[in-house]
Amino acid sequence: MVKRDKWRLLLIVVVVLLAAWIIYPVKEKIKLGLDLSGGVNIVLQAKETAGTPVTSDSVNKLIAVLRSRIDQYGVAEPIIQRQGDDRVAIDLPGIENPESALELIGRTAVLSFRQVLGESPRIPAAPIRKNYGSDAEFKAAQARWQEAKGEIDTYIEKMKTTVGEDPNVELLMGQTGTAYLIGKTYVTGKDLAKAETIFDQFGKAGVSIKFNAEGAKLFEAATEANINKQLAIVLDDVVISAPVVQQRIPGGDAQITGKFSTEDANKLAIMLRAGALPVSVEILENRSVGPTLGSDSINSGIKSGLIGAGLVVLFMLVYYGMLGFAANIALCVTVLLVLAGLILLKSTLTLPGIGGIVLTIGMVVDGNVLIYERMKEEFRSGKSLMAALDSGFKKALVVILDANITTLIAAVVLFYFGSGTIRGFAVTLSIGVIASVFCNVVVTRSLLGIMFSHRKGMTL
């Protein structure tokens, strides 16, 4: 074995081990498209309001915000398409909870810090029968609760009267059922520069936000004007929190805390980073989509693919003998690299993507057949095994590169102009082209070099 082949063999082992580590366990890491795994199909209707007319530009901005939210949510290869003048259709493959996806997409996420002019008492929790020893005690507790609730309702009615008398005041509800009289707005989410999920010392999730320079000035002025007073954090007209300001806060850093689960906090951070929807939207359609192929069709496809690959492997072994063994190893490494590439690029495997893998298998076999035939020609002309190997590879390499580069260009064009599953096919094909060239030029070449160096009497 020449020193060059040893280095190539070491490179191959490293690449194969790395690829195997990337794809294991493949069922958990590979993402399947809407046609293979199902998902969610949502159709949104843009709605015109007094301050936000529906225009072509506003719908384009709506699509941009939706795409930003979905991308940050980690949905692989979503399909977001405009339908007509004012509708947007969204396909989200692999989403198991349609309501969760809908909440992320449809919420407006308008954030503001506002003045608190008044707060109603919190409605106590309703009595539960198991906490009382007798029905009489439970009924008495229910009566006291109704009385307290009635007093709070009366207080809220008085707050509504105040709202009716002053158009600059609003009555908003909090997450805990508390009503707030809300005054002027100091700073809004439009000046937001950063939003991310955080956890306090008790592991409770929240959202840390940071304003830009202009927002920081407004926030500092807001905290300075409300020292020892409440400042309401309002999200989509719901008071998330109303902390008491202890001191002036410069720098524009703040935290949003409330009744958040980790998932809720992540969604809120995503929506704040992506920005509010530019127009109001109405959900026209929200449905779960099952795999269009069906599990039986998928299993049949996998079965036929395995049979086809098995026949190719058998043919190469029967027709080329040890050379076919090397080609089959290169074929297996190619498939391994394609799967690792899909996972690394966080691409989604769709039915056209499977077609790209099958096409890649054919390209690897074609490349090896081309190399072997050139080697045989060189061997018949009187050259030694190693000389035929070198010469055959050099002659075949030009043809292999020409064919694969043109295929790669076609794949890039498909990716640039295509969308959805077409892009999935282009990605799979591109990875397959690169992997097949690597396996033809490096893997097959190294295996043959090792075989020939240990079999002096071998013929082609």
pLDDT tens by residue, 366-383: 999 999 999 989 888 888
User: What are the φ and ψ backbone dihedral angles of 348, each rounded to 5 degrees?
Assistant: -105, 135
The pLDDT of residue 301 is 66
Q: Quote the longest CA-to-CA distance of the chain.
A: 109
Q: Is 282 helix (H, G, I), strand (E, B) or coil?
A: strand
pTM for this entry: 0.56
- What is the average per-residue pLDDT within 334-350? 86
Between CA 134 and CA 145 the distance in angstroms is: 17
Mean pLDDT to the nearest integer, 143-155 = 87
pLDDT of residue 252: 83
What mean pLDDT value characterizes the chain?
Answer: 82
Sorting pLDDT into bands at 50, 70 and 90, what band is 435?
Answer: very high
The mean pLDDT of 343-361, rounded to a whole number, is: 82
Q: Confidence class of residue 127 from pLDDT cuts 50, 70 and 90?
A: confident
Question: Which backbone phi and psi does 36 adopt, to 5 degrees?
Answer: -105, -35
Q: What is the pLDDT of residues 42-64, one digit of tens each?
A: 888 888 776 667 888 888 878 88
Question: Are 254 and 219 contacting, i.e. CB atoms less than 8 angstroms apart?
Answer: yes
| DSSP secondary structure of 114-162 | EEEEEEPPPPPPPP-GGGSSSHHHHHHHHHHHHHHHHHHHHHHHHHHHH
Q: What is the helix (H) or strand (E) element at residue 81, kind and residue range?
A: strand 79-83
Check if the beta carbon of residue 2 is closer than 8 Å to that of residue 453.
Answer: yes
Q: Give the mean model confidence (pLDDT) for residues 219-229.
A: 89
Which residues are CB-neighbours of 363 under 8 A, at least 6 positions away?
Answer: 403, 404, 407, 432, 433, 436
Which of 395, 392, 405, 321 is closest to 363 using CA atoms?
A: 405
Decide if pLDDT at 294 tops 60.
Answer: no
Confidence at 456, pLDDT banded by 50, 70, 90 = low
Which tokens belong to 392?
A: 């055959």
Say which amino acid occupies 345.
Answer: L
CA neighbor of 40 nearest in space, from 78, 84, 68: 78
- To the nearest 10°, the Cα dihedral for 42, 48, 50, 55? 120
Residue 18 has pLDDT above 90, yes or no: yes
Low-confidence winner among 308-312, 341-345, 349-353, 365-369 (lowest mean pLDDT):
349-353
Q: Give the SS3 label for residue 82.
A: strand
Average pLDDT, integer, range 242-264: 80
Mean pLDDT of 176-202: 84
Please tell me the predicted confidence (pLDDT) of residue 304: 73
Q: Helix 262-274 and helix 56-73: axis angle, to 10°?
A: 140
Q: How far is CA 394 from CA 159, 321, 390, 407, 443, in A?
A: 87, 22, 6, 20, 15
Q: Which H or E element spans position 100?
A: helix 98-106
pLDDT score of 191: 83
The pLDDT-based confidence of 409 (bands split at 50, 70, 90) is very high
Q: Please provide the DSSP assignment of 31-53 as one string.
A: EE-HHHH-EEEEEEEEE--SS--
pLDDT value at 274 more than 90: no
Decide if pLDDT at 75 tops 80.
no
